[in-house]
Structure 1
């Protein structure tokens, strides 16, 4: 790792360099959403664009990694919100509805589940990352999936299904959009049916 740049305070390791880059990218996403460039991040850090490219091959790769970096906090908050919901129908309903309510305010996670990014290759990368995110979400519910007869493969498919539901609402919230208890009633009736055993 080169030691010049970094506004006079070089990172001690590549891991620290990546953390600083992700933190700078996170601040840029907070300010501008997906409309950031490697040059913006480099300027914030006092390094060249080439330095950032050494760790992230493209702006899209940096966006995805910054979103993943922020996903842990989102998952923690969501797990706390649905804590105590042990019925799968209620946990799934509340998790989807809450995620849909929080997404417009969370530019980072929106990058993981909003389809139609400019780069078709990155869209498949984002989709893989989004599936990992959805998988982590399902497995953090207080539902005893094993006792209910769900296998690991079932949970993988459920995570994909829930992600597809979330994405469909992101793309087209409906006319008029369902919110609050109307959204929860709709999800409980139709999505809840997928987890009733």
Structure 2
């Protein structure tokens, strides 16, 4: 549509075009919900044709996944800020998981990860090599001296996998009653934290 599209402000680069498509999709999801947002909605939001959107993304699900991924990045920043000052490995992991279970369902962009099926961070995708590596990188950002705690790089990958598997279960299959944070914290302190305390003691 040339200059008649993009609100009269065509993007200066492919990267800018992709980001504007992602942002437009996020607005459509906020307005219509993820299941009712179509590629036509996104194109209409931008004032371009569907073919223009197709040049940058093959499917609406690809765009929604990018919306979720960017929401996840913002969420990680919030979690790291929440954990500042918690230097004990066991406490940091437990509090991080409690924060995730409490916050993710209430964060619209992050909760998309729960709605996109088996290929996402909290579906079967949680067990992929890339997802585990991402989880390990996130753990490295915790205010914890992992090396001093006797937890090496390979250990962080294993810890990230366990955390992702547990979070997948907790988020996809919550209790019938709202999750009680004190009970969840006690559960994690009883069954997850000891493995980290053992490493620290060793």
Place the TM-score, normalised by the shorter chain, in its bin. 0.7 to 0.9
Work out whether 1:85 is the aligned partner of 2:86: yes
| Runs of 5+ unmatched residues, structure 1 | none
Aligned to 1:12: 12
Q: Report matched runs for 1:57-136 at 5 Å.
A: 57-112=58-113, 114=114, 117=117, 128=128, 130-131=131-132, 133-136=134-137
1:3–1:11 CA contact under 8 A, matched in 2: no
Give TM-score, length-normalised by structure 1: 0.86
Work out whether 1:26 is the aligned partner of 2:26: yes
Deviation at residue 31 of structure 1 after TM alignment = 3.4
Farther-moved stretch of structure 1 (29-38 vs 76-85): 29-38
Write out the 4+ residue segments of structure 1 that deviate beyond 6 Å after TM superposition: none
2:95–2:185 CA contact under 8 A, matched in 1: yes
Measure the CA separation in 1 of the matches of 2:127 and 2:57.
18
Aligned to 1:45: 46
Aligned to 2:171: 170
Deviation at residue 133 of structure 1 after TM alignment = 4.7
Give TM-score, length-normalised by structure 2: 0.84
Query: How much is the aligned-residue C-alpha RMSD, in angstroms?
Result: 2.4
